[in-house]
Amino acid sequence: MMEHLIYIYDGSFEGLLTAIYEAYYRREQPDSIVSGQALQKDLFSREVIIKTDPEKADKVYHSIRQKISQSALRHVYYVYLSGMEQSGTYIYKYLRLGWKIGKDIDRYLSLDEVLQVHNISRKVGNEKHRMLGLVRFRCLQGNIYYASIEPDYNIVGLIAPHFAKRLSDQKWVIHDLKRNLAAMYNTKEWIIAELDANIRVAFEKEERDFQQLWKQYFQSIAIKDRINPHLQKSNMPMKYWKHLIEKW
């Protein structure tokens, strides 16, 4: 039985790009590129631990943008953010083809390597756009606005720039409870940091009153004869409802 070559990286985007760099530098073609957390032991596999190197990652990053396209770079990053077990493998195969074909790679949707990446990228992009309309901020003590979310994909960094522009004069936190991550904005810049999902937050009394008014408003404007639960669930899936003030 043939040996299965697995590259293992640390789960970071730089780590993934470093693994792709090493595959070319070592003239190897790994069967899988996975993060340490996603690794499934196999008796017939040879595992190679890849140490993250920002310089090597940077070379791959610029090579994707210059030799393939900016669009390809976006697809690669979105697939990485999907968090799928084999996302690193899908990206590697897509890029290997991309460096052969060049900027026209995304036209080759008949090829599995391209179609697979496009399908995953589209799902991540769709959730990003949907979430822009589903984030609900509440005012914490200290006049900091807080919103909790639990998206399927790791999109908190994708939606942060939108709110940095929209709420540029407010301090806010968008907290991804599923991943213990948060985008934090101080009226000048935003960062991504770890934040425990179990952290206790204290809300202003006025904010609790406002939440009740918002619920009443939402109910009062609804025209009963035109309520369409199926359409509502399609546009606003139930999995997001627990973080919507008007649904409490």
The tens digit of pLDDT for each residue in 112-145 reads 999 999 999 999 999 999 999 999 998 888 888 9
Q: So what's the pLDDT on residue 56?
A: 98
Q: How far apart are CA 97 and CA 72, in angstroms?
A: 11
Q: By percentage, how much of the chain surpasses pLDDT 70?
A: 79
What pairing do the DSSP bridges indicate for beta strands 4-9 and 32-35? parallel
pTM of the shown model: 0.84
User: Is the pLDDT confidence value at 248 over 50?
Assistant: no
Among 33-47, 77-91, 175-189, the minimum mean pLDDT is found in: 33-47
Q: What is the DSSP letter of 236?
A: S
Is residue 106 within 8 Å of 71, Cβ to Cβ? yes
| Separation of alpha carbons 179 and 221, rounded Å | 35
Q: Let me know: does 229 contact 241? Beta carbons within 8 Å.
A: no
